[in-house]
Structure 1
Amino acid sequence: MELDAVVDELYALAPGDFTAVRNERAKEARAAGDRELAGRIRRLRRPTTAAWASNLLVRASPDEVDGLLRLGEALRQAHQDLDGEQLRELSARQHRLTFALARQAERLAARAGQRIGEAARQEVQDTLHAVLADPEAAGEWAKGRLTRPLDAPVGFPAAADSAASAGKPAPARRRAAPSAGEVRDLEAARAHRREQRERLERAERQAAEAEQELHDREVESAAAEEERSRAETERQQAEERVTDLSRRLREAEQEQQQSREAARQAGDRARDLGREVRQARRRAKDAAAQVRELRASGPARPR
Protein backbone atom coordinates (compact mmCIF):
# COMPACT_ATOMS: atom_id res chain seq x y z
CA MET A 1 0.00 0.00 0.00
CA GLU A 2 1.40 3.40 -1.07
CA LEU A 3 0.56 6.61 0.81
CA ASP A 4 0.10 8.65 -2.40
CA ALA A 5 -2.43 6.14 -3.73
CA VAL A 6 -4.37 6.26 -0.47
CA VAL A 7 -4.30 10.07 -0.41
CA ASP A 8 -5.55 10.28 -3.99
CA GLU A 9 -8.32 7.83 -3.19
CA LEU A 10 -9.41 9.62 -0.02
CA TYR A 11 -9.45 13.17 -1.43
CA ALA A 12 -11.53 12.00 -4.38
CA LEU A 13 -14.25 10.81 -1.99
CA ALA A 14 -17.20 12.85 -0.77
CA PRO A 15 -16.48 14.34 2.69
CA GLY A 16 -19.08 12.09 4.29
CA ASP A 17 -17.22 8.96 3.15
CA PHE A 18 -13.73 10.21 4.02
CA THR A 19 -13.41 9.20 7.68
CA ALA A 20 -14.71 5.64 7.37
CA VAL A 21 -12.49 4.84 4.35
CA ARG A 22 -9.46 6.54 5.95
CA ASN A 23 -9.86 4.44 9.10
CA GLU A 24 -10.28 1.28 7.03
CA ARG A 25 -7.07 1.99 5.06
CA ALA A 26 -5.19 2.72 8.31
CA LYS A 27 -6.48 -0.57 9.71
CA GLU A 28 -5.30 -2.42 6.58
CA ALA A 29 -1.85 -0.83 6.82
CA ARG A 30 -1.59 -1.76 10.49
CA ALA A 31 -2.70 -5.32 9.72
CA ALA A 32 0.04 -5.47 7.07
CA GLY A 33 2.59 -4.55 9.74
CA ASP A 34 3.26 -0.95 8.55
CA ARG A 35 2.41 1.02 11.71
CA GLU A 36 4.14 4.18 10.43
CA LEU A 37 1.99 4.24 7.29
CA ALA A 38 -1.10 3.53 9.38
CA GLY A 39 -0.30 6.53 11.58
CA ARG A 40 0.25 8.84 8.59
CA ILE A 41 -3.04 7.75 7.07
CA ARG A 42 -4.84 8.22 10.37
CA ARG A 43 -3.54 11.82 10.57
CA LEU A 44 -5.01 12.81 7.18
CA ARG A 45 -7.65 15.51 7.66
CA ARG A 46 -11.08 15.35 6.12
CA PRO A 47 -11.55 18.19 3.58
CA THR A 48 -14.14 20.87 4.09
CA THR A 49 -16.98 20.99 1.58
CA ALA A 50 -15.36 23.89 -0.30
CA ALA A 51 -11.95 22.19 -0.34
CA TRP A 52 -13.52 18.97 -1.62
CA ALA A 53 -15.35 20.87 -4.39
CA SER A 54 -12.06 22.56 -5.34
CA ASN A 55 -10.33 19.16 -5.48
CA LEU A 56 -13.21 17.81 -7.54
CA LEU A 57 -12.75 20.64 -10.05
CA VAL A 58 -9.04 19.81 -10.37
CA ARG A 59 -9.73 16.13 -11.00
CA ALA A 60 -12.67 16.59 -13.36
CA SER A 61 -11.42 19.55 -15.42
CA PRO A 62 -7.67 19.30 -16.15
CA ASP A 63 -7.91 21.66 -19.14
CA GLU A 64 -9.48 24.40 -17.00
CA VAL A 65 -6.77 23.82 -14.39
CA ASP A 66 -4.05 24.43 -16.98
CA GLY A 67 -5.84 27.52 -18.25
CA LEU A 68 -6.14 28.99 -14.76
CA LEU A 69 -2.50 28.30 -13.99
CA ARG A 70 -1.40 30.01 -17.21
CA LEU A 71 -3.65 32.99 -16.44
CA GLY A 72 -2.09 33.23 -12.97
CA GLU A 73 1.41 33.35 -14.44
CA ALA A 74 0.35 36.08 -16.85
CA LEU A 75 -1.38 38.09 -14.11
CA ARG A 76 1.59 37.92 -11.78
CA GLN A 77 3.92 39.01 -14.57
CA ALA A 78 1.64 41.91 -15.53
CA HIS A 79 1.36 42.93 -11.89
CA GLN A 80 5.15 42.86 -11.57
CA ASP A 81 5.57 44.88 -14.77
CA LEU A 82 2.83 47.34 -13.73
CA ASP A 83 1.33 46.87 -17.19
CA GLY A 84 -2.04 48.63 -16.75
CA GLU A 85 -3.52 47.62 -20.10
CA GLN A 86 -2.52 43.98 -19.63
CA LEU A 87 -3.80 44.05 -16.05
CA ARG A 88 -7.21 45.35 -17.15
CA GLU A 89 -7.55 42.64 -19.80
CA LEU A 90 -6.32 39.81 -17.57
CA SER A 91 -8.32 40.98 -14.56
CA ALA A 92 -11.51 40.87 -16.60
CA ARG A 93 -10.63 37.34 -17.70
CA GLN A 94 -9.82 36.46 -14.10
CA HIS A 95 -13.23 37.60 -12.89
CA ARG A 96 -15.08 35.67 -15.58
CA LEU A 97 -12.97 32.52 -15.24
CA THR A 98 -13.01 32.23 -11.45
CA PHE A 99 -16.76 32.84 -11.37
CA ALA A 100 -17.38 30.25 -14.09
CA LEU A 101 -15.08 27.67 -12.49
CA ALA A 102 -16.69 28.14 -9.07
CA ARG A 103 -20.09 27.50 -10.66
CA GLN A 104 -18.66 24.49 -12.47
CA ALA A 105 -17.36 23.13 -9.14
CA GLU A 106 -20.83 23.65 -7.70
CA ARG A 107 -22.38 21.64 -10.55
CA LEU A 108 -19.78 18.87 -10.24
CA ALA A 109 -20.47 18.61 -6.53
CA ALA A 110 -24.20 18.41 -7.17
CA ARG A 111 -23.68 15.61 -9.71
CA ALA A 112 -21.59 13.81 -7.08
CA GLY A 113 -24.55 14.01 -4.69
CA GLN A 114 -23.24 16.86 -2.50
CA ARG A 115 -24.87 20.28 -2.91
CA ILE A 116 -22.76 23.20 -1.68
CA GLY A 117 -24.13 26.47 -0.41
CA GLU A 118 -23.34 30.02 -1.46
CA ALA A 119 -20.71 30.39 1.29
CA ALA A 120 -18.85 27.28 0.14
CA ARG A 121 -19.07 28.38 -3.51
CA GLN A 122 -17.55 31.74 -2.52
CA GLU A 123 -14.75 29.89 -0.73
CA VAL A 124 -14.08 27.95 -3.93
CA GLN A 125 -13.86 31.23 -5.83
CA ASP A 126 -11.54 32.68 -3.14
CA THR A 127 -9.35 29.60 -3.55
CA LEU A 128 -9.16 30.23 -7.30
CA HIS A 129 -8.13 33.85 -6.67
CA ALA A 130 -5.38 32.57 -4.33
CA VAL A 131 -4.23 30.18 -7.05
CA LEU A 132 -3.88 33.10 -9.48
CA ALA A 133 -1.94 35.21 -6.99
CA ASP A 134 0.44 32.68 -5.43
CA PRO A 135 2.42 30.01 -7.36
CA GLU A 136 2.76 27.94 -4.17
CA ALA A 137 -1.01 28.01 -3.68
CA ALA A 138 -1.39 27.08 -7.35
CA GLY A 139 0.87 24.06 -6.91
CA GLU A 140 -1.00 22.97 -3.77
CA TRP A 141 -4.40 23.32 -5.48
CA ALA A 142 -3.28 21.48 -8.62
CA LYS A 143 -2.59 18.32 -6.56
CA GLY A 144 -6.30 18.01 -5.75
CA ARG A 145 -5.59 17.37 -2.05
CA LEU A 146 -6.79 20.52 -0.28
CA THR A 147 -8.21 20.06 3.21
CA ARG A 148 -9.47 23.64 3.51
CA PRO A 149 -10.05 26.51 1.08
CA LEU A 150 -7.26 28.98 0.37
CA ASP A 151 -7.45 32.64 1.40
CA ALA A 152 -8.21 35.14 -1.34
CA PRO A 153 -5.34 37.63 -1.77
CA VAL A 154 -5.63 41.28 -0.79
CA GLY A 155 -4.18 43.88 -3.15
CA PHE A 156 -3.69 41.52 -6.10
CA PRO A 157 -5.21 42.49 -9.48
CA ALA A 158 -8.42 40.75 -8.40
CA ALA A 159 -9.24 44.09 -6.78
CA ALA A 160 -9.48 45.56 -10.27
CA ASP A 161 -12.26 43.14 -11.29
CA SER A 162 -15.13 45.40 -10.35
CA ALA A 163 -13.61 48.42 -12.08
CA ALA A 164 -12.73 46.45 -15.19
CA SER A 165 -16.14 44.82 -15.42
CA ALA A 166 -17.81 48.22 -14.99
CA GLY A 167 -15.77 49.67 -17.87
CA LYS A 168 -13.77 52.07 -15.67
CA PRO A 169 -10.17 52.72 -16.72
CA ALA A 170 -7.41 51.41 -14.50
CA PRO A 171 -4.12 53.30 -13.96
CA ALA A 172 -1.61 52.71 -16.70
CA ARG A 173 1.44 52.30 -14.48
CA ARG A 174 0.61 52.48 -10.76
CA ARG A 175 -2.53 51.74 -8.78
CA ALA A 176 -3.54 54.18 -6.07
CA ALA A 177 -2.81 52.98 -2.55
CA PRO A 178 -5.95 52.10 -0.59
CA SER A 179 -7.16 54.64 1.94
CA ALA A 180 -6.99 54.01 5.69
CA GLY A 181 -10.73 53.34 5.71
CA GLU A 182 -10.43 50.87 2.86
CA VAL A 183 -7.57 49.12 4.65
CA ARG A 184 -9.66 48.87 7.80
CA ASP A 185 -12.59 47.53 5.79
CA LEU A 186 -10.35 44.99 4.07
CA GLU A 187 -8.79 43.91 7.35
CA ALA A 188 -12.23 43.68 8.98
CA ALA A 189 -13.52 41.62 6.06
CA ARG A 190 -10.52 39.33 6.25
CA ALA A 191 -10.89 39.00 10.02
CA HIS A 192 -14.58 38.22 9.62
CA ARG A 193 -13.86 35.67 6.92
CA ARG A 194 -11.05 34.16 8.99
CA GLU A 195 -13.38 33.93 11.99
CA GLN A 196 -16.06 32.28 9.86
CA ARG A 197 -13.50 29.84 8.47
CA GLU A 198 -12.20 29.03 11.95
CA ARG A 199 -15.74 28.47 13.18
CA LEU A 200 -16.41 26.28 10.16
CA GLU A 201 -13.21 24.33 10.74
CA ARG A 202 -14.08 23.85 14.41
CA ALA A 203 -17.56 22.67 13.47
CA GLU A 204 -16.17 20.33 10.83
CA ARG A 205 -13.53 19.05 13.25
CA GLN A 206 -16.24 18.41 15.85
CA ALA A 207 -18.35 16.72 13.18
CA ALA A 208 -15.37 14.58 12.15
CA GLU A 209 -14.73 13.65 15.78
CA ALA A 210 -18.41 12.83 16.24
CA GLU A 211 -18.35 10.80 13.05
CA GLN A 212 -15.22 9.00 14.27
CA GLU A 213 -16.88 8.28 17.61
CA LEU A 214 -19.98 7.06 15.80
CA HIS A 215 -17.83 4.80 13.64
CA ASP A 216 -16.04 3.44 16.72
CA ARG A 217 -19.34 2.83 18.51
CA GLU A 218 -20.72 1.12 15.40
CA VAL A 219 -17.66 -1.14 15.27
CA GLU A 220 -18.06 -1.96 18.97
CA SER A 221 -21.78 -2.51 18.49
CA ALA A 222 -21.15 -4.84 15.55
CA ALA A 223 -18.59 -6.78 17.63
CA ALA A 224 -21.03 -6.99 20.52
CA GLU A 225 -23.80 -8.13 18.19
CA GLU A 226 -21.49 -10.77 16.73
CA GLU A 227 -20.60 -11.91 20.26
CA ARG A 228 -24.29 -11.99 21.21
CA SER A 229 -25.12 -14.01 18.10
CA ARG A 230 -22.29 -16.44 18.84
CA ALA A 231 -23.43 -16.78 22.46
CA GLU A 232 -27.03 -17.34 21.32
CA THR A 233 -25.86 -20.07 18.93
CA GLU A 234 -23.87 -21.71 21.70
CA ARG A 235 -26.88 -21.46 24.04
CA GLN A 236 -29.13 -23.12 21.48
CA GLN A 237 -26.55 -25.85 20.91
CA ALA A 238 -26.22 -26.37 24.66
CA GLU A 239 -29.98 -26.59 25.03
CA GLU A 240 -30.10 -29.12 22.22
CA ARG A 241 -27.39 -31.16 23.94
CA VAL A 242 -29.26 -30.93 27.25
CA THR A 243 -32.46 -32.05 25.54
CA ASP A 244 -30.64 -34.93 23.89
CA LEU A 245 -28.90 -35.92 27.13
CA SER A 246 -32.18 -35.69 29.04
CA ARG A 247 -33.83 -38.00 26.52
CA ARG A 248 -30.94 -40.43 26.69
CA LEU A 249 -31.04 -40.26 30.50
CA ARG A 250 -34.73 -41.09 30.51
CA GLU A 251 -34.11 -43.99 28.16
CA ALA A 252 -31.22 -45.20 30.33
CA GLU A 253 -33.38 -44.91 33.44
CA GLN A 254 -36.09 -46.92 31.71
CA GLU A 255 -33.52 -49.53 30.69
CA GLN A 256 -32.19 -49.54 34.26
CA GLN A 257 -35.69 -50.06 35.63
CA GLN A 258 -36.33 -52.83 33.14
CA SER A 259 -33.00 -54.45 34.02
CA ARG A 260 -33.79 -54.24 37.72
CA GLU A 261 -37.21 -55.80 37.12
CA ALA A 262 -35.66 -58.53 34.98
CA ALA A 263 -33.02 -59.15 37.67
CA ARG A 264 -35.71 -59.30 40.36
CA GLN A 265 -37.77 -61.72 38.33
CA ALA A 266 -34.68 -63.82 37.58
CA GLY A 267 -33.84 -63.83 41.30
CA ASP A 268 -37.34 -64.93 42.23
CA ARG A 269 -37.23 -67.66 39.61
CA ALA A 270 -33.81 -68.81 40.82
CA ARG A 271 -35.04 -68.96 44.39
CA ASP A 272 -38.12 -70.95 43.33
CA LEU A 273 -35.99 -73.34 41.33
CA GLY A 274 -33.59 -73.71 44.22
CA ARG A 275 -36.43 -74.57 46.51
CA GLU A 276 -37.81 -77.08 44.02
CA VAL A 277 -34.34 -78.59 43.63
CA ARG A 278 -34.01 -78.98 47.39
CA GLN A 279 -37.47 -80.50 47.61
CA ALA A 280 -36.67 -82.90 44.76
CA ARG A 281 -33.38 -83.81 46.44
CA ARG A 282 -35.19 -84.61 49.68
CA ARG A 283 -37.77 -86.70 47.85
CA ALA A 284 -35.02 -88.53 46.04
CA LYS A 285 -33.18 -89.10 49.31
CA ASP A 286 -36.34 -90.32 51.05
CA ALA A 287 -37.12 -92.65 48.17
CA ALA A 288 -33.60 -94.08 48.25
CA ALA A 289 -33.85 -94.65 52.00
CA GLN A 290 -37.15 -96.40 51.58
CA VAL A 291 -35.68 -98.67 48.95
CA ARG A 292 -32.84 -99.58 51.27
CA GLU A 293 -35.25 -100.34 54.12
CA LEU A 294 -37.40 -102.51 51.92
CA ARG A 295 -34.43 -104.44 50.74
CA ALA A 296 -33.23 -104.95 54.26
CA SER A 297 -36.59 -106.20 55.67
CA GLY A 298 -37.84 -108.28 52.73
CA PRO A 299 -37.40 -112.21 52.15
CA ALA A 300 -34.09 -113.43 50.97
CA ARG A 301 -33.76 -113.96 47.31
CA PRO A 302 -33.45 -117.68 46.10
CA ARG A 303 -29.99 -118.78 45.13
Structure 2
Amino acid sequence: MSVRIGHAAIGEYEPVYVIAEIGLNHNGDVRLAKHLIDVAAHAGAQAVKFQKRTPDLSTPEHMKLAPRDTPWGTMTYLEYRHRVELGREEYAQIADHAALRGLDWFASPWDVPAVADLESYGVVAHKIASASVTDLELLAAVRDTGKPVILSTGMSTMEEIDRAVAVLGTERLVIMHATSSYPMEPEEANILMIPALKNRFPGVPIGYSGHERGLQISLAAVALGAVAVERHITLDRAMWGSDHAASLEPQGLEHLVRDIRVIGEALGDGVKRVYPGEEAPKAKLRRVLA
Protein backbone atom coordinates (compact mmCIF):
# COMPACT_ATOMS: atom_id res chain seq x y z
CA MET A 1 0.00 0.00 0.00
CA SER A 2 1.22 3.52 -0.70
CA VAL A 3 0.08 6.90 0.60
CA ARG A 4 0.17 9.93 -1.68
CA ILE A 5 1.42 13.18 -0.17
CA GLY A 6 1.58 16.14 -2.50
CA HIS A 7 3.70 15.18 -5.50
CA ALA A 8 4.86 11.79 -4.23
CA ALA A 9 3.66 8.31 -3.41
CA ILE A 10 5.14 6.85 -0.21
CA GLY A 11 5.44 3.10 -0.03
CA GLU A 12 7.42 0.01 -0.96
CA TYR A 13 9.24 0.29 -4.31
CA GLU A 14 8.67 4.05 -4.37
CA PRO A 15 11.59 6.50 -4.01
CA VAL A 16 12.25 7.20 -0.33
CA TYR A 17 10.36 10.34 0.68
CA VAL A 18 12.89 12.72 2.27
CA ILE A 19 11.46 15.30 4.67
CA ALA A 20 13.73 18.17 5.71
CA GLU A 21 12.41 19.30 9.07
CA ILE A 22 12.92 23.02 9.58
CA GLY A 23 10.81 22.84 12.74
CA LEU A 24 11.79 25.81 14.89
CA ASN A 25 15.27 26.12 13.40
CA HIS A 26 14.10 29.31 11.66
CA ASN A 27 14.25 30.93 15.13
CA GLY A 28 11.19 33.01 14.27
CA ASP A 29 12.79 34.55 11.15
CA VAL A 30 10.90 33.92 7.90
CA ARG A 31 13.99 34.86 5.87
CA LEU A 32 15.91 32.05 7.55
CA ALA A 33 12.95 29.71 6.96
CA LYS A 34 13.04 30.48 3.23
CA HIS A 35 16.81 29.98 3.15
CA LEU A 36 16.34 26.53 4.71
CA ILE A 37 13.67 25.72 2.10
CA ASP A 38 16.29 26.53 -0.52
CA VAL A 39 18.75 24.18 1.23
CA ALA A 40 16.18 21.36 1.17
CA ALA A 41 15.36 21.89 -2.50
CA HIS A 42 19.02 22.03 -3.52
CA ALA A 43 19.72 18.77 -1.68
CA GLY A 44 16.86 16.96 -3.43
CA ALA A 45 14.41 16.54 -0.54
CA GLN A 46 10.74 16.24 -1.43
CA ALA A 47 9.24 18.09 1.54
CA VAL A 48 9.89 20.59 4.29
CA LYS A 49 8.19 20.42 7.65
CA PHE A 50 7.50 23.05 10.30
CA GLN A 51 5.84 23.15 13.72
CA LYS A 52 2.65 25.09 14.47
CA ARG A 53 1.52 26.00 17.96
CA THR A 54 -1.04 28.11 19.71
CA PRO A 55 1.45 28.87 22.52
CA ASP A 56 -1.08 29.62 25.26
CA LEU A 57 -2.68 26.19 24.68
CA SER A 58 0.24 23.98 23.74
CA THR A 59 2.78 25.10 26.36
CA PRO A 60 2.56 22.87 29.47
CA GLU A 61 1.40 24.83 32.51
CA HIS A 62 4.47 23.91 34.54
CA MET A 63 6.72 25.35 31.79
CA LYS A 64 4.95 28.64 31.05
CA LEU A 65 6.77 30.77 33.63
CA ALA A 66 10.10 28.94 33.48
CA PRO A 67 12.92 31.33 32.56
CA ARG A 68 14.56 30.86 29.17
CA ASP A 69 17.79 32.49 28.01
CA THR A 70 17.39 33.53 24.37
CA PRO A 71 19.20 35.75 21.85
CA TRP A 72 16.55 38.35 22.67
CA GLY A 73 17.26 38.25 26.40
CA THR A 74 15.88 36.22 29.29
CA MET A 75 12.14 35.65 29.04
CA THR A 76 9.57 33.13 30.20
CA TYR A 77 9.21 29.93 28.20
CA LEU A 78 5.74 31.07 27.10
CA GLU A 79 7.13 34.39 25.87
CA TYR A 80 9.82 32.49 23.97
CA ARG A 81 7.16 30.30 22.32
CA HIS A 82 5.32 33.41 21.15
CA ARG A 83 8.59 34.96 19.94
CA VAL A 84 9.49 32.08 17.59
CA GLU A 85 5.97 31.35 16.33
CA LEU A 86 5.41 32.35 12.71
CA GLY A 87 2.17 34.11 11.78
CA ARG A 88 -0.22 34.05 8.85
CA GLU A 89 1.80 36.41 6.67
CA GLU A 90 4.98 34.42 7.25
CA TYR A 91 3.29 31.11 6.46
CA ALA A 92 1.89 32.58 3.25
CA GLN A 93 5.47 33.38 2.24
CA ILE A 94 6.58 29.87 3.22
CA ALA A 95 3.80 28.26 1.17
CA ASP A 96 4.70 30.36 -1.87
CA HIS A 97 8.42 29.73 -1.54
CA ALA A 98 8.02 25.96 -1.05
CA ALA A 99 5.80 25.81 -4.14
CA LEU A 100 8.33 27.86 -6.11
CA ARG A 101 11.05 25.35 -5.18
CA GLY A 102 8.85 22.33 -6.01
CA LEU A 103 8.56 21.08 -2.43
CA ASP A 104 5.62 19.81 -0.40
CA TRP A 105 5.25 21.58 2.92
CA PHE A 106 3.35 20.75 6.06
CA ALA A 107 3.76 21.00 9.82
CA SER A 108 3.19 19.34 13.16
CA PRO A 109 0.18 20.96 14.85
CA TRP A 110 0.57 20.91 18.62
CA ASP A 111 -3.06 21.79 19.44
CA VAL A 112 -6.50 21.70 17.82
CA PRO A 113 -6.63 25.38 16.73
CA ALA A 114 -3.26 24.88 15.02
CA VAL A 115 -4.87 22.17 12.87
CA ALA A 116 -7.43 24.68 11.59
CA ASP A 117 -4.68 27.23 10.97
CA LEU A 118 -2.68 24.74 8.91
CA GLU A 119 -5.78 23.74 6.94
CA SER A 120 -6.30 27.40 6.03
CA TYR A 121 -2.77 27.47 4.59
CA GLY A 122 -3.53 24.49 2.35
CA VAL A 123 -1.00 21.99 3.70
CA VAL A 124 -0.86 18.65 1.88
CA ALA A 125 -0.56 16.54 5.06
CA HIS A 126 -0.26 16.72 8.83
CA LYS A 127 2.53 15.37 11.01
CA ILE A 128 1.90 14.16 14.56
CA ALA A 129 4.94 14.91 16.68
CA SER A 130 6.11 12.25 19.11
CA ALA A 131 5.10 14.47 22.02
CA SER A 132 1.49 14.43 20.75
CA VAL A 133 0.98 10.67 20.35
CA THR A 134 -1.23 10.55 23.45
CA ASP A 135 -3.27 13.69 22.60
CA LEU A 136 -6.35 11.88 21.32
CA GLU A 137 -8.33 15.10 20.79
CA LEU A 138 -5.58 16.41 18.51
CA LEU A 139 -5.36 13.08 16.68
CA ALA A 140 -9.09 13.14 16.01
CA ALA A 141 -8.93 16.71 14.70
CA VAL A 142 -6.12 15.76 12.31
CA ARG A 143 -7.97 12.61 11.20
CA ASP A 144 -11.10 14.61 10.46
CA THR A 145 -9.26 16.81 7.94
CA GLY A 146 -9.09 13.82 5.60
CA LYS A 147 -5.45 14.64 4.84
CA PRO A 148 -2.61 12.10 4.96
CA VAL A 149 -1.06 11.80 8.43
CA ILE A 150 2.56 11.07 9.35
CA LEU A 151 2.84 9.71 12.91
CA SER A 152 6.14 9.88 14.79
CA THR A 153 6.50 7.35 17.59
CA GLY A 154 9.29 8.63 19.84
CA MET A 155 8.86 8.59 23.63
CA SER A 156 5.91 6.19 23.18
CA THR A 157 5.04 2.66 24.23
CA MET A 158 3.56 0.19 21.76
CA GLU A 159 0.25 0.47 23.59
CA GLU A 160 0.25 4.25 23.06
CA ILE A 161 1.11 3.79 19.38
CA ASP A 162 -1.70 1.23 18.99
CA ARG A 163 -4.16 3.66 20.57
CA ALA A 164 -3.04 6.50 18.27
CA VAL A 165 -3.36 4.29 15.18
CA ALA A 166 -6.84 3.22 16.29
CA VAL A 167 -7.88 6.89 16.33
CA LEU A 168 -6.15 7.88 13.09
CA GLY A 169 -6.99 4.79 11.04
CA THR A 170 -4.56 3.29 8.55
CA GLU A 171 -5.97 4.37 5.19
CA ARG A 172 -3.84 7.54 4.84
CA LEU A 173 -1.23 6.85 7.52
CA VAL A 174 2.58 6.78 7.47
CA ILE A 175 4.28 5.70 10.71
CA MET A 176 7.78 6.91 11.55
CA HIS A 177 10.01 5.05 13.96
CA ALA A 178 11.73 7.63 16.17
CA THR A 179 13.67 8.04 19.39
CA SER A 180 13.21 11.49 20.91
CA SER A 181 16.72 12.15 22.23
CA TYR A 182 18.42 15.34 21.00
CA PRO A 183 20.94 14.37 19.79
CA MET A 184 20.28 10.62 19.85
CA GLU A 185 23.04 8.19 20.73
CA PRO A 186 23.40 5.07 18.53
CA GLU A 187 22.50 2.67 21.34
CA GLU A 188 19.06 4.32 21.54
CA ALA A 189 18.31 4.09 17.80
CA ASN A 190 16.68 0.62 17.85
CA ILE A 191 16.12 0.71 14.10
CA LEU A 192 15.03 -2.93 14.09
CA MET A 193 11.72 -1.35 15.09
CA ILE A 194 11.27 -0.55 11.39
CA PRO A 195 10.65 -4.19 10.35
CA ALA A 196 8.82 -4.71 13.67
CA LEU A 197 6.38 -1.89 12.84
CA LYS A 198 5.96 -3.31 9.32
CA ASN A 199 4.90 -6.60 10.86
CA ARG A 200 2.59 -4.96 13.40
CA PHE A 201 0.83 -2.69 10.89
CA PRO A 202 0.74 -4.61 7.58
CA GLY A 203 0.33 -2.38 4.56
CA VAL A 204 1.13 0.85 6.43
CA PRO A 205 4.22 2.63 5.08
CA ILE A 206 6.94 2.79 7.77
CA GLY A 207 9.61 5.47 7.84
CA TYR A 208 12.28 6.84 10.13
CA SER A 209 12.56 10.20 11.88
CA GLY A 210 16.12 10.65 13.13
CA HIS A 211 17.78 12.93 15.65
CA GLU A 212 21.27 11.44 15.57
CA ARG A 213 24.56 12.98 14.57
CA GLY A 214 25.75 11.92 11.14
CA LEU A 215 24.14 9.85 8.40
CA GLN A 216 24.87 6.19 9.15
CA ILE A 217 21.74 5.36 11.16
CA SER A 218 19.37 7.05 8.70
CA LEU A 219 20.99 5.15 5.83
CA ALA A 220 20.76 1.88 7.74
CA ALA A 221 17.07 2.64 8.34
CA VAL A 222 16.55 2.81 4.57
CA ALA A 223 18.36 -0.49 4.12
CA LEU A 224 15.97 -1.97 6.71
CA GLY A 225 12.97 -0.82 4.70
CA ALA A 226 12.16 2.74 5.78
CA VAL A 227 10.18 4.36 2.94
CA ALA A 228 10.44 7.90 4.34
CA VAL A 229 13.23 9.66 6.21
CA GLU A 230 12.91 12.87 8.18
CA ARG A 231 15.87 14.83 9.51
CA HIS A 232 16.14 18.29 11.07
CA ILE A 233 18.16 20.77 9.02
CA THR A 234 20.08 23.90 9.96
CA LEU A 235 22.58 26.29 8.44
CA ASP A 236 24.95 25.72 11.37
CA ARG A 237 24.71 23.19 14.21
CA ALA A 238 26.27 25.76 16.53
CA MET A 239 23.33 28.16 16.13
CA TRP A 240 21.19 28.98 19.17
CA GLY A 241 18.13 26.76 19.63
CA SER A 242 17.14 23.39 21.03
CA ASP A 243 17.21 21.39 17.77
CA HIS A 244 20.25 22.72 15.90
CA ALA A 245 22.75 20.31 17.48
CA ALA A 246 20.73 17.30 16.26
CA SER A 247 20.32 18.72 12.74
CA LEU A 248 22.08 18.26 9.43
CA GLU A 249 23.92 21.15 7.84
CA PRO A 250 23.43 21.74 4.08
CA GLN A 251 26.24 19.46 2.90
CA GLY A 252 25.09 16.73 5.29
CA LEU A 253 21.58 16.84 3.84
CA GLU A 254 22.98 16.70 0.30
CA HIS A 255 25.02 13.61 1.18
CA LEU A 256 22.05 11.99 2.92
CA VAL A 257 19.76 12.36 -0.11
CA ARG A 258 22.53 11.23 -2.48
CA ASP A 259 23.23 8.09 -0.46
CA ILE A 260 19.53 7.29 0.05
CA ARG A 261 19.09 7.31 -3.73
CA VAL A 262 22.06 4.95 -4.17
CA ILE A 263 20.63 2.56 -1.57
CA GLY A 264 17.23 2.76 -3.27
CA GLU A 265 18.77 1.62 -6.53
CA ALA A 266 20.80 -1.08 -4.80
CA LEU A 267 17.89 -2.67 -2.91
CA GLY A 268 16.28 -4.01 -6.06
CA ASP A 269 13.16 -6.17 -5.84
CA GLY A 270 14.37 -9.38 -4.17
CA VAL A 271 14.03 -11.45 -7.35
CA LYS A 272 17.24 -13.32 -8.23
CA ARG A 273 18.40 -12.84 -11.81
CA VAL A 274 21.60 -12.78 -13.83
CA TYR A 275 22.43 -9.20 -14.78
CA PRO A 276 23.95 -8.14 -18.12
CA GLY A 277 27.13 -7.10 -16.34
CA GLU A 278 27.59 -10.69 -15.17
CA GLU A 279 27.48 -12.30 -18.60
CA ALA A 280 31.10 -11.67 -19.56
CA PRO A 281 32.53 -12.89 -16.20
CA LYS A 282 30.17 -15.88 -16.37
CA ALA A 283 31.43 -16.85 -19.83
CA LYS A 284 35.02 -16.43 -18.71
CA LEU A 285 34.96 -18.02 -15.24
CA ARG A 286 32.20 -20.64 -15.04
CA ARG A 287 33.67 -24.08 -15.88
CA VAL A 288 30.52 -26.20 -15.53
CA LEU A 289 27.40 -24.92 -17.27
CA ALA A 290 23.98 -25.59 -15.81
Higher helix residue share: 1
Q: Under a length normalisation based on structure 2, what TM-score does the superposition of the two structures give?
A: 0.24
Higher strand residue share: 2
Q: Under a length normalisation based on structure 1, what TM-score does the superposition of the two structures give?
A: 0.23
